């Protein structure tokens, strides 16, 4: 990580790495067709990739809901100034447009996000952030992209935001 100038603010450069199940395990699940638990169903005409992630919805009156988010592309270099988390439920993002996107997560340090980690997800990979995992809002690349989002609906404040004193910088990844 090196420091760069963005305007009058010093930033810390983050490295983008490929998204893998092993690297992402501390934060949740990678959603992708893999043979770990593949089953043939519907008379052998359909492959079911079973239990790729588990949705979490905590609290009385909570329910799991499905949404479509349409993300607009970010400009680079991009300044990561904030992170968010959802204390009562998980949140998954599965691309419908088949385009790569960035996944930014951070471990928790005393109730605040630590230094972010940045992953490049392929257009056939999704992620499921476990509840209480610090992550950046949706980060699409180069063009608008749609995502199937599974998350929690219900009473209670299920959004916490944190703003860094010093931003982090991400250069545009090569695709």
Give per-residue pLDDT as tens, 31-83.
998 867 899 989 888 999 989 999 999 999 999 999 999 999 999 999 999 99
Look up the domain containing 80 and give its range.
3-170
**Global pTM?**
0.88
**Pairing mode, if any, of strands 112-113 and 145-153?**
unpaired
Instruction: With respect to residue 145, please indicate whether it lies within any of the assigned structural domains.
Output: yes
26: in domain: yes
Distances (CA, A) of 130 to 22, 86, 125, 134: 15, 9, 16, 9
Domain for residue 133, yes or no? yes
Do the domain assignments include residue 175? no
Q: Which of 74, 79, 55, 50 is nearest to 170 (CA)?
A: 79
Instruction: Tell me if 100 sits within 8 A of 141, measured CB to CB.
Output: yes
The CATH number given to whatever domain includes residue 17 is: 2.60.120.480
List, for residues 75-125, the tens digit of each pLDDT value: 999 999 999 999 999 999 999 999 999 999 999 999 999 999 999 999 999
> What's the number of domains the chain is made of?
1
Closest C-alpha to 109, from 169, 26, 12: 26
């Amino acid at each position: 990580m090196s420091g760069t100038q963005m305007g009058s603010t010093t930033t810390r450069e983050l490295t983008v790495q490929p998204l893998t199940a092993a690297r992402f395990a501390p934060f949740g699940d990678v959603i992708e067709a893999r043979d770990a638990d593949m089953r043939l169903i519907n008379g052998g005409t359909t492959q079911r990739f079973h239990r790729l992630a588990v949705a979490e919805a905590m609290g009385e009156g909570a329910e799991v809901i499905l949404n479509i988010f349409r993300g607009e592309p970010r400009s680079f270099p991009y300044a990561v100034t904030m992170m968010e988390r959802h204390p009562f439920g998980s949140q998954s993002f599965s691309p419908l447009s088949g385009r790569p996107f960035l996944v930014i997560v951070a471990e928790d340090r005393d109730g605040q996000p630590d230094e972010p980690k940045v992953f490049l997800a392929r257009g056939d990979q999704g992620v499921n952030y476990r509840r209480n995992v610090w992550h950046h809002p949706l980060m699409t690349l180069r063009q608008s992209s749609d995502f199937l989002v599974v998350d929690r609906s219900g009473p209670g404040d299920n959004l916490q935001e944190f703003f860094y004193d010093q931003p982090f910088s991400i250069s545009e990844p090569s695709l």
